[in-house]
Amino acid sequence: MTDLAERKMRFLYALRSKGVTDSRVLTVMEKIDRGDFVRGIFTDRAYEDMPLPIACGQTISQPSVVGLMTQALHVSPRDKVLEVGTGSGYQAAILSLLARRVYTIDRHRRLVREAEKVFAALDLTNITALAGDGSHGLPDQAPFDRIIVTAAAEDPPGPLLAQLREGGIMVLPVGQSDTVQSLIKVTRTPQGYEYEELRPVRFVPLVEGLAQD
């Protein structure tokens, strides 16, 4: 077996051993190559289960966390999904193979531009990437069947709760940025919102406003 094939096999093994057991999620994570979303000196570490630096001082999340969040989101092929925090585009690419349509938004224009190039190269045509402050959601496209936030807020942003369809699911880290946060799953029911705490995580903070670079 080549070195690359062996690394990819270990990558999938690490996902399974950390609780990513949903076969649809594992299948798409085998298809979407994390190496396409990591640049420069870090490409060598693309198949390790750790977050890695990307441009604009941000990070591509740890693959097992991407897998666990995707699994908790229970995406179905008819779903319209909103992702807040495009970053490298890796999470959006995975979602695009599970959902009907993915809207992803980042406050850094440069990250959105770079992610769009990768989506085009991989022929992922059902992703719309936008620059903006995702904490306001995307009122024009609301409601969403699923919402995933990949940056930590102290509380679930109100506009995102409001833009979740009844029966919809939102997965997001909550807590202060310099401490360990909690990954939570919010389900919108006819009566209101149900909250479930999934596990401790660490994400970069959700920051207000469009970045100036």
Residue 88 found at the interface with ligand SAH (CB under 6 A): yes
Residue 118 found at the interface with ligand SAH (CB under 6 A): no
Q: Which stretch binds ligand SAH (CB under 6 A): 23-31, 132-140, 167-175, 190-198?
A: 132-140
Among 63, 67, 134, 173, binds ligand SAH (CB under 6 A): 134
**DSSP of 40-75, one letter per residue?**
GGGGGGTTSSS-EE-GGG-EEPPHHHHHHHHHHHT-
Say which residues have a Cβ less than 8 Å from residue 197's Cβ, sequence separation at least 6.
Answer: 182, 183, 184
Q: Which stretch binds ligand SAH (CB under 6 A): 23-31, 68-76, 106-114, 116-124?
A: 106-114
| H helix or E strand, kind and range, residue 182 | strand 181-189
Tell me if 26 sits within 8 A of 16, measured CB to CB. Answer: yes
Cβ neighbours around 127 below 10 Å, total:
24
Torsion of CA 40, 43, 45, 49, to 10 degrees: 110
Residue 70 found at the interface with ligand SAH (CB under 6 A): no
Does the annotation count 61 as an active-site position? Answer: yes
Among 25, 29, 84, 95, binds ligand SAH (CB under 6 A): 84
Residue 151 found at the interface with ligand SAH (CB under 6 A): yes
Tell me if 187 sits within 8 A of 165, measured CB to CB. Answer: no
The one catalytic residue in 17, 23, 61, 182 is: 61
Kindly list the residues in this chain that would bind ligand SAH in the complex (CB under 6 A). Answer: 58-61, 84-85, 87-88, 90-91, 105-108, 111, 133-135, 150-151, 204, 206-208
- Which residue numbers are catalytic? 61
